[in-house]
Amino acid sequence: MPKETDYNTLSDQQLMILIGQDDYAGFTALYLRHIQELIQYARRLHTDEEESNDFVQEVFASLWMRRHELNLDTPLAWLYMSVRKQMLHSLRKTKKQRQIH
């Protein structure tokens, strides 16, 4: 892609292709496009605002770290699913810790 790419005009799938090629600007565009809606989603599922924000940040970090192995046709669906999985994992972990104490 040329340097003057307007990332805002690209689809999520096109951004994922760029992200897979280590294009951090593409990652930033995807992040900025979806961060608020994912935080709102997380807050609907989990009452702790700070933890909800952390879950979403962890999912985006995972996306960047796994960018070479992920082949996503629907990146937004993956992001939503990953936020939900992250939250469920955390809740199970918290429940186990409470049972131990």
Q: CA 22, CA 89: separation in Å to the nearest integer?
A: 28
pTM listed for this prediction: 0.85
| Domain residue spans of the chain | 9-100
Q: CA 78, CA 80: separation in Å to the nearest integer?
A: 6
Alpha helices (H) along the chain:
12-20, 24-45, 49-65, 75-100
9-100 belongs to CATH 1.10.1740.10: yes
Residue with more model confidence, 1 or 68: 68
* pLDDT tens-digit series, residues 9-52: 999 999 999 999 999 999 999 999 999 999 999 999 888 899 99
* pLDDT tens-digit series, residues 49-100: 999 999 999 999 999 999 999 989 999 999 999 999 999 988 777 766 666 6
Q: What is the pLDDT of residue 95?
A: 65
Alpha-carbon dihedral of residues 40, 44, 49, 51, nearest 10 degrees? -100
Nearest to 11 by CA among 88, 3, 62, 1: 1
